[in-house]
Chain A
Amino acid sequence: MMTFDLTLTGSDLLLVLPEIFLTLWLCTVLSVDFSMRKVEHETLAYLSIGGLLATVFILIWFDQAGIIGSLFKNMYVVDHLSIFFKILILLATAMVIFISIDYVKGFRFFKGEYYFMVMMSGLGMMFMASANDLISVFVTLEFSTFGFYVLVAYLRDDIRSSEAGLKFFILGVFAAGLLAYGISLVYGETGTLIFSQMAGNPGSYGLAIGFLLIFAALGFKIGAVPFHSWIPDTYQGAPTPVTAFLSIAPKAAAIAILIRMFYVGLASFKPMWVLLFVCASIISMTYGNVVAIAQKNIKRLLAYSGIAQIGTIMVGLAAGTKQGSDAILFYLLTYLFANIGAFAVVIAVNNFINSDEIEDYNGLNRRSPFLAAAMFLFLLSLAGVPPLAGFIGKLYLFVAAIEEELYTLLIVGLINIVISMYYYLIVVKKMYINEPVDSTPVTVSLPIKTVVYVCVAGTLLLGIYPKAFIDWAVSATLMFSKIAPPATAAHSSLLGG
């Protein structure tokens, strides 16, 4: 039996300082919005961004000063891994608020609440990065998804947005059900909910089914095939900044949970889950890339490309080594800049011509050389062309896979790079070669321009000088250097070891 002990000391409270700070901050933002009607929504946006960046600085201080530990009997941990993911999520949240500013102008109601909801989802995902047992996984996951249910359906007058919201909600609740059921099975079999205490348990069918259910629920979050069906419609219907947010932050947070759960909780069953991730990775990459070819809408194209990117990230999970987790962390950084950048360009174009069709990107180079060049760079980074960030990320992942001798996965992954290049180049062709229908120059507002510049800088910097960032990723996963034995050495089996 577990007993819960909720007495907290000062040093315990210090560990959750970033979250407490952000909670207070977002309450302030909401209060300002309610009490001072004269305050423009832009001010609220910059206020939110200020809070997020301040939280990032607190986290950097934690990382440098080594303020780490665990709370509530190891249910909630603050370690370098969680700090890495929290910073990643906060950066994504801040950039999303930046690119939302113009978009929010189009809303008639609830402009201030929008920023509140975005920040609250970000806060939920910060908790996800620290979840170290199945109950915290459930609670934090639902907390973060709650904000998204509202955000996806934020365009009340747009039938697509409402439809997207409903789809996302129904499937989200279904996934939550799977998660709860899986957790109950795992608890019944092992008698514990904390990952580190599960290691060493004998395998059983109940445990296997339980973890498969949990995997399915998290697969829903990251959009891995076959749990991806909500992705294209939701991405297309949701407000584009929310789509950008959905495409990176929840995925990163769920990856953090997956890494903890499989690397720590299921370390002794590694050969089994390696197979699981190899299959999921192959299917996701191939399905995402092949279906992306036929897309006519840029948001749908990015949705399918995102499914494929998740497949690529799972290559690292399939490797199941320290190197694999380093590679995932680094890849998520590269994906953050390339993907948010691409969505920022989509928003800039949408704000001007009010369309997301790829046809309308014809001749973008004439209308805005800046946006076209930035998009070109982001797409090449997503495809993995050197020396951009995506190349180093993919190289790192594939080195990890080669080391584990996952040759089938590797070959499929490499062929997928070629397929993805095809549809990215089609967009490039439309931007650079085709003639524009209407050649009025596209104007870009300052906040979006800032985000695009930041993402371009990030994509180039991570590609040309990745050393510091790889160092960061490597130090964030130091705890896995002892765990995760090589695949060949483990003999135990999940089904009756």
Chain B
Amino acid sequence: MQEELQAGFPILTFLTFFPLLGAMIIWAMKDQDLIKKSALGIAVLELVVSAWLLMGFVPDTAAMQFSERYSWIPQLGISYHMAVDGISILFVGLTAFLTVLLVLYAWDTVKIHPKAFFMSLLALEATIMGIFVSIDLILFFVFWELMLIPSYFMIKLWGLGSQCQYAALKYVLYTLLGSVFMLVGFCLLDLNYYSVKQTYSFDLVDLLSVPVPVGQQILIFWLIFMGFAFKAPVFPFHSWLPDALTQGPIPTSVLLAGIKMGTYGFLRFSFPLLPDASRDQTVVAIVMTLGLIAIVYGAIVAIIQPDFRRLLVFSSISHLGFVVIGLFALNFQGIQGSLLTMINLGFSTAGLFFLAGFVYERLGHTNVHECSGLAKKMPLLATFFLIIGMASIGLPGTNGFVGEFLILLGAFQAYWVYGAIAVTGVIFAAAYFLWFYERAIFGPLKDGLPAALKDLNTREWGIGIALCVMIFWIGLYPSPFLRMMNGSVQEVVDRLNSGSAAVTTPASHVLSQVVQD
């Protein structure tokens, strides 16, 4: 974060508010067919602009790029500051990518209130974009909270389970509980800035220029931890996730499980702002333990799940444990691996949820006991299941391997015991997935299955291909992705190593840069 590069065109504002504008345009429409087509058009345009953003992004640097900065509420030091760097850029692309697939998925699977559904989906995309491009802490918080509203309605109105009302409320209240503590942490940072500079600021770039006393860092760390841990969710704050993801519709499951906003928060805010707390031995030991429990607990619980979507939920909790382990290894490989894994899960876990959705539409459930021999009727589905499943396990050649390998490397470097325990998670993952695959996809054809079981149609097929392309691209040629993150990851690692007291020198540099701009 040495300098800020600006684009002439407010591209991040566009990316954030265009889907919202699109939702409003759709609101005015009557014709069902036109609504679908416009939703797709809006999502595709958003993807094209994000792709353009990714191509314009300068790799191998820690600079904040495409920066936009305006004063919003100066009395409290709140600004409208948007920018992307190596940590956030890939999430922007991932969100736009998944939204396009979700519009395709929802094309004729959403039968009740399709207009409202596409509006909610686009609004959700807008808020998630906002989360990833916000550099000001309050702006970030605004999108973080706003995200709850469209997802609440999506879980509630289009939920697949009978308990979706309860699940939606639980999801909102749990996340809210975590985030109010996070808000206090943000305010403490703001006040700390005031005590040094005699002026308020919630801007990440400003806050980085002021050291935070070590004792206070630990307090702020845990407050912020609550917000991110509930959202991620880190074990033991995960109890809303099985409800929300199995009761809710497939699109919210894809977005909530595929886009790792909670762990992104650790890397974006906790590490750079609170380096001394993040490397504090007690903190690391506690968080690492939670991560390891999540890996093993998630995987073991996943093995015994009869429902495929529940299996995916616990597999996602287990994967999240990996991400946490990689982050708190606090070295370059670990953090890079975690960041890449967060992106990977957006293709593999989210992909498996798509496939679960395809099965659900045909059978009306995803219960493993009620189906077997799906491969006989649906060979294409079986193929995609295998490819995406292998990516989820982390087979070499797929994207999952690169990320998990880097995480394990980092964990072994940090402390071999962490690495050794984490490795068992890989084995468990193979166990639960392969056992599921054997029961549900292979085996004799179950009697109760509908006779006219069609294989994937063109739309579904396209979704599968798109996911597979990304899986093999990252798996076989990850360096463009790694290069994008390198600079920022290195910056975070440097800050972690030097502590917050040593940061004042580059800070003046940053400020002078901003003035020059």
Q: Do A and B bind each other?
A: yes
Whole-angstrom CA separation of A410 from B223 in the bound complex: 13
Among A357-395, those with CB < 8 Å from B are 380, 385-387, 391-392, 395
Shortest B35–chain A CB gap in Å is 17
Contact assessment for A433 and B173 in the assembled complex, using a CB-CB cutoff below 8 Å: no
Q: Contact string, A415-457, partner B, CB cutoff 8 A, digits 1/0?
A: 1011001100100010011000000000000000000000000
Given A387-B142, A395-B138, A429-B156, does the pair A470, B176 have CB atoms closer than 8 Å? no
In the complex, whether A490 has a CB less than 8 A from a CB of chain B is: no
Contact assessment for A402 and B187 in the assembled complex, using a CB-CB cutoff below 8 Å: yes
Whole-angstrom CA separation of A402 from B72 in the bound complex: 22
Among B161-212, those with CB < 8 Å from A are 165, 169, 172-173, 176-177, 180-181, 183-184, 187-188, 190-191
Shortest B134–chain A CB gap in Å is 12
Among A278-325, those with CB < 8 Å from B are none
Whole-angstrom CA separation of A392 from B187 in the bound complex: 13
Contact assessment for B173 and A432 in the assembled complex, using a CB-CB cutoff below 8 Å: no
The secondary structure that dominates the A interface is helix
Q: Which of B73, B149, B177 contacts A392 (CB 8 A)?
A: B73
Contact assessment for B177 and A402 in the assembled complex, using a CB-CB cutoff below 8 Å: no
Whole-angstrom CA separation of A396 from B191 in the bound complex: 12
Contact assessment for A414 and B156 in the assembled complex, using a CB-CB cutoff below 8 Å: no
Given A386-B141, A402-B184, A403-B191, does the pair A417, B146 have CB atoms closer than 8 Å? no
In the complex, whether A331 has a CB less than 8 A from a CB of chain B is: no
Contact assessment for A470 and B184 in the assembled complex, using a CB-CB cutoff below 8 Å: no
In the complex, whether A232 has a CB less than 8 A from a CB of chain B is: no
Q: Which residue of chain B has its CB nearest to the CB of A474?
A: B75
Given A386-B145, A386-B146, does the pair A398, B184 have CB atoms closer than 8 Å? yes
Q: Which of B73, B152, B156, B190 contacts A466 (CB 8 A)?
A: B73
> Inside 8 A of B476's CB, which chain A residues have their CB?
none
Contact assessment for B177 and A395 in the assembled complex, using a CB-CB cutoff below 8 Å: no
> Inside 8 A of B152's CB, which chain A residues have their CB?
425
> Inside 8 A of B146's CB, which chain A residues have their CB?
385-387
Q: Which residue of chain A has its CB nearest to the CB of B157?
A: A433
Whole-angstrom CA separation of A421 from B169 in the bound complex: 9
Whole-angstrom CA separation of A472 from B44 in the bound complex: 44
In the complex, whether B153 has a CB less than 8 A from a CB of chain A is: yes
Whole-angstrom CA separation of A470 from B142 in the bound complex: 18
In the complex, whether A12 has a CB less than 8 A from a CB of chain B is: no
In the complex, whether B417 has a CB less than 8 A from a CB of chain A is: no
> Inside 8 A of B176's CB, which chain A residues have their CB?
417-418, 421
Contact assessment for B180 and A417 in the assembled complex, using a CB-CB cutoff below 8 Å: yes
Q: Which of B71, B74, B173 contacts A421 (CB 8 A)?
A: B173
Q: Which residue of chain A has its CB nearest to the CB of B141?
A: A386
Given A386-B146, A398-B187, A403-B191, does the pair A418, B74 have CB atoms closer than 8 Å? no
Q: Contact string, A449-476, partner B, CB cutoff 8 A, digits 1/0?
A: 0000000000000000011001100100
Contact assessment for A467 and B74 in the assembled complex, using a CB-CB cutoff below 8 Å: yes
Whole-angstrom CA separation of A429 from B168 in the bound complex: 10
Whole-angstrom CA separation of A467 from B71 in the bound complex: 9
In the complex, whether A399 has a CB less than 8 A from a CB of chain B is: yes
Shortest B162–chain A CB gap in Å is 14
Q: Which of B76, B142, B156, B169 contacts A399 (CB 8 A)?
A: B76
> Inside 8 A of A387's CB, which chain B residues have their CB?
142, 146
Whole-angstrom CA separation of A467 from B76 in the bound complex: 10
Contact assessment for A422 and B173 in the assembled complex, using a CB-CB cutoff below 8 Å: yes
Given A386-B142, A432-B153, does the pair A467, B72 have CB atoms closer than 8 Å? yes
Shortest A455–chain B CB gap in Å is 19
Contact assessment for A418 and B149 in the assembled complex, using a CB-CB cutoff below 8 Å: no
> Inside 8 A of A403's CB, which chain B residues have their CB?
191
Whole-angstrom CA separation of A470 from B200 in the bound complex: 14
Given A470-B75, A474-B75, does the pair A433, B156 have CB atoms closer than 8 Å? yes
Whole-angstrom CA separation of A403 from B75 in the bound complex: 15
Whole-angstrom CA separation of A241 from B148 in the bound complex: 33
Total contacts A-B at CB 8 Å? 74
Contact assessment for A414 and B75 in the assembled complex, using a CB-CB cutoff below 8 Å: no
> Inside 8 A of A417's CB, which chain B residues have their CB?
176, 180
A interface bracket (residues with beta carbon within 8 Å of B): 20 to 34
Whole-angstrom CA separation of A317 from B244 in the bound complex: 40
Whole-angstrom CA separation of A117 from B290 in the bound complex: 64
> Inside 8 A of B141's CB, which chain A residues have their CB?
386
Q: Which residue of chain B has its CB nearest to the CB of A376?
A: B149
Q: Which residue of chain A has its CB nearest to the CB of B195?
A: A403
Among A76-121, those with CB < 8 Å from B are none
Contact assessment for B173 and A418 in the assembled complex, using a CB-CB cutoff below 8 Å: yes
Shortest B133–chain A CB gap in Å is 15
Shortest B183–chain A CB gap in Å is 7
Q: Contact string, B30-69, partner A, CB cutoff 8 A, digits 1/0?
A: 0000000000000000000000000000000000000000
Given A385-B149, A386-B146, A398-B187, does the pair A422, B169 have CB atoms closer than 8 Å? yes
Among B65-93, those with CB < 8 Å from A are 71-76
Whole-angstrom CA separation of A311 from B74 in the bound complex: 27
Whole-angstrom CA separation of A466 from B184 in the bound complex: 20
> Inside 8 A of A433's CB, which chain B residues have their CB?
156-157, 165
Contact assessment for B75 and A467 in the assembled complex, using a CB-CB cutoff below 8 Å: yes
Given A421-B176, A425-B172, A470-B73, does the pair A402, B191 have CB atoms closer than 8 Å? yes
Whole-angstrom CA separation of A392 from B142 in the bound complex: 10
Contact assessment for A421 and B184 in the assembled complex, using a CB-CB cutoff below 8 Å: no
Contact assessment for B165 and A421 in the assembled complex, using a CB-CB cutoff below 8 Å: no
> Inside 8 A of A425's CB, which chain B residues have their CB?
152, 169, 172
Shortest A57–chain B CB gap in Å is 26
Whole-angstrom CA separation of A326 from B76 in the bound complex: 11
Contact assessment for A467 and B173 in the assembled complex, using a CB-CB cutoff below 8 Å: no
Shortest A315–chain B CB gap in Å is 13
> Inside 8 A of B183's CB, which chain A residues have their CB?
395, 398, 414
Shortest A434–chain B CB gap in Å is 10
> Inside 8 A of B75's CB, which chain A residues have their CB?
326, 467, 470-471, 474
Among B117-158, those with CB < 8 Å from A are 138, 141-142, 145-146, 148-149, 152-153, 156-157
> Inside 8 A of B145's CB, which chain A residues have their CB?
385-386, 391
> Inside 8 A of B181's CB, which chain A residues have their CB?
414
> Inside 8 A of B74's CB, which chain A residues have their CB?
467
Shortest A292–chain B CB gap in Å is 15
Shortest A364–chain B CB gap in Å is 15
Whole-angstrom CA separation of A398 from B181 in the bound complex: 11
Shortest A70–chain B CB gap in Å is 28
Residue from A385, A399, A403, A415 having most chain B Cβ neighbours under 10 A: A399
> Inside 8 A of A402's CB, which chain B residues have their CB?
184, 187-188, 191
Q: Which of A399, A422, A429 contacts B190 (CB 8 A)?
A: A399
Q: Contact string, A392-412, partner B, CB cutoff 8 A, digits 1/0?
A: 100110110011000000100
Q: Which residue of chain A has its CB nearest to the CB of B169?
A: A425
Contact assessment for A414 and B184 in the assembled complex, using a CB-CB cutoff below 8 Å: yes
Whole-angstrom CA separation of A432 from B165 in the bound complex: 12
Residue from B75, B141, B145, B156 having most chain A Cβ neighbours under 10 A: B75
Whole-angstrom CA separation of A310 from B214 in the bound complex: 36
Whole-angstrom CA separation of A429 from B149 in the bound complex: 12
> Inside 8 A of A432's CB, which chain B residues have their CB?
153, 156-157
> Inside 8 A of B188's CB, which chain A residues have their CB?
402
Chain B contact residues, CB within 8 Å of chain A: 71-76, 138, 141-142, 145-146, 148-149, 152-153, 156-157, 165, 169, 172-173, 176-177, 180-181, 183-184, 187-188, 190-191
Given A402-B188, A414-B184: 13 more A-B contacts, CB < 8 Å = A391-B145, A392-B73, A395-B138, A399-B76, A399-B190, A402-B191, A414-B180, A414-B183, A415-B177, A418-B177, A422-B173, A429-B169, A432-B157
Q: Which 4 A-B pairs have the closest CB atoms?
A: A386-B142, A414-B180, A470-B75, A387-B142
Chain A to chain B contacts (Cβ below 8 Å), 14 pairs: A386-B145, A395-B183, A396-B76, A398-B184, A399-B191, A414-B181, A414-B184, A415-B180, A417-B176, A418-B177, A421-B176, A429-B169, A467-B71, A467-B74
Chain A contact residues, CB within 8 Å of chain B: 326, 380, 385-387, 391-392, 395-396, 398-399, 402-403, 410, 414-415, 417-418, 421-422, 425, 429, 432-433, 466-467, 470-471, 474
